Amino acid sequence: MQGNENRAGFSRRALMMVAALVVLAGVGAIYVMDGGSGNVASAECAEANAKIAAIKPYALGEVAAFRIADTPSPVGELTFTDRDGKQRQISEWRGKTVLLNMWATWCAPCRHEMPALEALETQMGGEKFSVVPVSVDLGDDAKPKAFYAETGLKKLPFFHDGSMGIFNALKKRSLAVGMPTSILIDREGCILGSLNGPAEWASGDAKALIGAAIGSQESGGI
């Protein structure tokens, strides 16, 4: 009888161990599938570490609040609409360094920095770099469009997300905690760092930071 009980106890323990391994395997699968972290991040953004090293010395002065990413990770497939209401995806900018900026008309610091973003796009925008400002005003895009007209923003492109989905997606990853929020993305779609709050994006410090991110793509075989 005792031998049977021992065998039964062993069988139960064996089953529990198998179940635990299955659960752990499932957790591992979820971790690998997570587009913002884990093994996917290291695989897709392996070369971005060199870019982070290149820009780190430039996070100072007017952009001292810029937070360098500890580990570069894919930005993911963020969606928003353009001036004509057409749905766009951030992946369309692959091949360029991008400064993704989230703003709203009710945010005073956002309104203040928009002319600086216009100047940055005017001076540095082109084949290698773009400012991608996305209004997160809830509902339709009437208010942000009116602000563009009132402020005379002509070079800066217009994008809108009336659901705040883009902001909430980045907030879950602790990349967006307030308005405005700016995310620097390399040409492979990997996040190099972020800045929560306004910045003088037309300043020499900001342009040096952007220039270092662009320049790192042209040297070292990146």
Q: Give pLDDT tens digits for 84-123.
A: 999 999 999 999 999 999 999 999 999 999 999 999 999 9
- pLDDT attached to residue 42: 55
Q: What is the DSSP string of the chain?
A: -HHHHHHHHHHHHHHHHHHHHHHHHHHHHHHHH-TTSHHHHHHHTTTHHHHHHHHGGG--GGGTT-EEEEEEEE----EEEETTS-EEEGGGGTTSEEEEEEE-TT-HHHHHHHHHHHHHHHHH-SSSEEEEEEE--SS-SHHHHHHHHHHT--SS--EE-TT-HHHHHHHTTTS--SSSEEEEE-TTSEEEEEEES---TTSHHHHHHHHHHHHTTTSTT-
Helix orientation angle between 108-124 and 142-151, rounded to the nearest 10 degrees: 60
The secondary structure of 131-157 as a DSSP string is EEEEE--SS-SHHHHHHHHHHT--SS-
Q: How many CB atoms lie within 10 A of CB 177?
A: 12
pTM above 0.85, yes or no: no
Region 75-90 average pLDDT: 96
Per-residue confidence (pLDDT) for residue 220, from 0 to 100: 39
pLDDT at residue 23 above 90?
no
pLDDT level of residue 217 (50, 70, 90 thresholds): low
Q: Which amino acid is at 152?
A: G
Alpha-carbon distance of 168 to 207, in angstroms, equals 28
Average pLDDT, the chain: 84
Residue 38 has pLDDT above 80, yes or no: no
Residue 193 scores a pLDDT above 60: yes
Weakest-pLDDT range from 12-26, 66-80, 83-97, 162-176: 12-26
CB count within 10 Å of CB 130 equals 18
Q: How far apart are the first and last CA of the chain?
A: 70
Confidence of residue 46 (pLDDT cuts 50, 70, 90): confident
Question: pLDDT value at position 43?
Answer: 73
